[in-house]
Structure 1
Amino acid sequence: MDRAELTTEQVLKRDIPWEHYMSTKLISGTCLQLLRRYDHKPESQRAPLLEEVLLYFDYSARPKLRNGTLPNGDASNSKSKLTSTHDVLRGLVNWLCSQLRNPTHPSCSIPTSIHCLSTSLREPYVRTLFVQADGIKLLIPLISPAATQQSIQLLYETCLCIWLLSFYDAAVDYLSTTRVMPRLVEVVKGSTKEKVVRVAVLSFCNLLAKGAFAAQMIDLGLPQIVQNLKAQAWTDEDLLDALNQLEVGLKENLKKLSSFDKYKQQVLLGHLDWSPMHKDPSFWRENINNFEENDFQILRVLMTIIDTSSDTTALAVACYDLSQFLQYHPSGRIVVADLKAKDRVMKLMNHENTEVQKNALLCVQRLFLGAKYASFLRA
């Protein structure tokens, strides 16, 4: 029978050669499994699922709304269509987040969910839904250097999600409260896969001009890491361009950022470590008056770290910095006493970590005895 003579019913009854499509790489093995699972479902389940998928395609392909109307054609029923499409997208995002929280399949749920998100987050509305669903924190643990091919693909698609989210201000604000930057830095230091390094570097480029990210990148040693990356034999032109762009941006920020700006960002982010400025006498002499800004905001944050942090390095540095303020500020003891710091710091004198104990003791000595006598005892 000539193909032109086939009836609609005959066409619908024909089996689609999905295996052939997979062998020619038109679809992946995962797609084939999903399609065959769909084929084996009863019609009562297939129809609603197909309707949801078609609505999703319709949303992606449809021209974007402007001023509440469609650019072409009649706008009737657009509101109901948009509502139903938004409901579908919300359901999809919530389901993907639930799979990341509690995977139903030990090895497939997370990679499949991240793969879907790396595509879906291209849509601005999906980014909004993902932030509302508190999904960003689910991505952060997945950002770590990978070894196997499967884990490399998962890392790449997770970093791709971060890059897509870096275009959305609400997502950027949330990212600034996470450990995303140190994790991305570890990825570019430890990865040899060009596509992984590329998408991480592109994320750096997007975040560089936003909030405190520039100071974080500098504190984490990213300028030197970029130099090391540029010395490698990459073949990806986009990666090379991104590295050049990031290098220029970091140099500009280094010129603008004073040592106190870097210190302030470190404290406000709660990411304290033994960077050189903490033990540099000239830093404290030159910047001690800056600690008076915003009603001694920096000291108040240091006290919050002392009260709440479980990071022993952060606790030790916070105690040390408080003792440095006591030493260099003419009214240091009065200011620190007003913050009711004595009892809060004294608790750390019994801490299990010796570094925390030592710096808590120094702080208490300077609070009770004054900087001159405390330094004499310490010597």
Structure 2
Amino acid sequence: MSLDPPPYLGSLQNNVRQRPIPWDGAARAGTITEAQLAKIRAVDKVRREQRKQVVEGDLDGYRILFVGEAGTPGVLQSASQRSDVVQYILVLLSDLLDGVPALAKALFKDSNPYQHLLPLLAHSNNPEDPIPLLTSTALAALMANSKDESQSTENALPLVLSYLCGLVKNSNDAGLQDIAVMEYSSLLYGQSSRQLFWKQRSETVAPLIDILRKAAGIGGESSASLWSGNNTTRSSGFEGLSGGVGLQLLYHVLLVLWQLSFEAEDIGDDLNDEYDIVLLYTQLLRLSPKEKTTRLLLSTLNNLLEANPSTLLPTAVLARLPALLQNVGGRHLTDPDLQEDLETLKEMLEEYRKTKTTFDEYAAEVQSGHLRWSPPHRHQTFWTENARKILDFENGKIPRKLADIMKKPWENDKAVLAIACNDVGNLVKEVPEKRYQLEKLGLKTRIMELMQDSDENVRWESLRALGGWLKYSFEN
């Protein structure tokens, strides 16, 4: 997957490269040394192959040029007062790191290459200052090309991610967002960096999910309409839709989350619990206008479901993914990897559906954290056959989750509270001797509170549920 620099970054770098700098005057003024000037001139405005030969023939010299050594400051340190020189050196460093892979590892020899780079991320409070952006690009190139996992990189990476997340959150500038997301992608080269990225998920992952939600047409609203099947999002694709998420930015966001999904065994359940990722990706897949976005969506879902079958396959069925995959299969698809992922997902879901029971379906719905009026809720035979199993399953896991669901106000989807009251009432009716188990979870108290709710259906269902408690209290 070739990732060319976003237009804004490419334009900025070209302007810096072409800007004339009075190097001789800088040397006479002591801004840089004659030795540093010689190194710069040897690679300045020469062909790529010649530049590569020069640097590979003097890796130690170029290491000292950029990061210095004991008693010899690097050029960024020497020229710290000259903004034009600093900008040029940052662009030159990025170019050399991309063009001479051996340089990245050489910079780590006997020194901490981040020492004089990281402070430049906070060079000024002026949003127009190009130095922090050029610095993040150089840092991303250094980390990505060295594939370094040393303690110094582990310490530096969170600072780089925090800077980039500030760009992603700048929803008024899609160009800066795209630069940051592409640099995210270059940084997720190994398990260690992906784990650090996930550790900072409130900064890194959450804004990416917001972009995807806009692309899916749900913005900052509740995902209730998606769960209930009442979504009215336009289906003509992403470009220019719902907050103006461009196709290129969308693709890069999906690429980052695909890379993150290689840690699905460790993070898949949390990713779904916190961001409703299976439901969101199902909706994005429904709208996907291009094979390249469809490919990333299917591959990510494949990674997630394969690593977490017991928890995420039931959620995928609830999200109606199996039916959607049949529709996707009817599109004119040419990518063999996409077709393979599609068939793998269909087989995985079909195998699950052969073995699942109505109880499994109900348990999965509760664990998803979002209830809808699916058939089990209103089916009396279901409660007669499964109420005791629901209360006993994994030491009361399902009632505990019902209690967690009912603690929320659900202002955008009051049906969830009505359904939860219905379920609790059925549990009390079918297994009255275990109603104290529900009381210990605060469910009786919460149902009494909901009798004053603004929604008529919630008031009615809470009254019915409380009636079960009162009935058995009077009988005893």
Is the TM value for this pair above 0.5?
Answer: yes
Structure 2 gap segments, 5+ residues each: 20-82, 114-147, 217-237
Matches within 5 A, 1:1-379: 29-39=7-17, 40=19, 42-47=84-89, 50-51=92-93, 77=110, 82-101=150-169, 103=170, 106-134=173-201, 135-143=204-212, 144-145=215-216, 146-148=238-240, 151-168=246-263, 169-177=265-273, 178-211=275-308, 212-290=311-389, 291-310=391-410, 311-370=413-472
- Identical positions, percent: 25
1:239-259 CA distance string (max 9 Å, x none): 222111110011112233332
Change (3 A) 1:257 1:210: farther
Contact 1:208–1:214 (CA<8 Å) still a contact in 2? yes
Instruction: State the shift of 1:317 in Å.
Output: 1.4
The letter of the residue matching 2:430 is Y
Secondary structure at the residue paired with 1:316?
Answer: helix
Q: Kindly tell me the number of residue pairs found equivalent between the two proteins.
A: 338
1:256-276 CA distance string (max 9 Å, x none): 333222322322231211111
Contact 1:163–1:203 (CA<8 Å) still a contact in 2? yes
Give me the whole-angstrom Cα distance separating, in 2, the residues matched to 1:340 and 1:193: 49
What is aligned with 1:3? none
Give me the whole-angstrom Cα distance separating, in 1, the residues matched to 2:352 and 2:152: 46
Instruction: State the shift of 1:141 in Å.
Output: 1.5
The letter of the residue matching 1:34 is L
Give me the whole-angstrom Cα distance separating, in 2, the residues matched to 1:119 and 1:299: 44
Contact 2:325–2:342 (CA<8 Å) still a contact in 1? yes
1:295-347 CA distance string (max 9 Å, x none): 42321221222122424222121111101111222424443344443321111
Give me the whole-angstrom Cα distance separating, in 2, the residues matched to 1:332 and 1:343: 16
Change (3 A) 1:242 1:60: farther
TM-score, normalisation: structure 2: 0.63
Secondary structure at the residue paired with 2:289?
Answer: coil
Change (3 A) 1:299 1:56: farther
Give me the whole-angstrom Cα distance separating, in 1, the residues matched to 2:318 and 2:420: 17
Instruction: State the shift of 1:236 in Å.
Output: 2.5
Higher mean displacement: 142-151 or 52-61: 52-61
Change (3 A) 1:197 1:117: same
Give me the whole-angstrom Cα distance separating, in 2, the residues matched to 1:234 and 1:358: 50
Secondary structure at the residue paired with 1:273?
Answer: coil
The letter of the residue matching 1:147 is E
Give me the whole-angstrom Cα distance separating, in 1, the residues matched to 2:336 and 2:102: 29
Change (3 A) 1:371 1:114: farther
Structure 1 gap segments, 5+ residues each: 1-24, 64-72, 374-379
1:57-98 CA distance string (max 9 Å, x none): 8889979xxxxxxxxx9x974998844444554332221122
Give me the whole-angstrom Cα distance separating, in 2, the residues matched to 1:335 and 1:26: 59
Contact 2:171–2:177 (CA<8 Å) still a contact in 1? no
The letter of the residue matching 2:353 is L
Give me the whole-angstrom Cα distance separating, in 1, the residues matched to 2:369 and 2:424: 14
Contact 2:387–2:427 (CA<8 Å) still a contact in 1? yes
Change (3 A) 1:140 1:60: farther
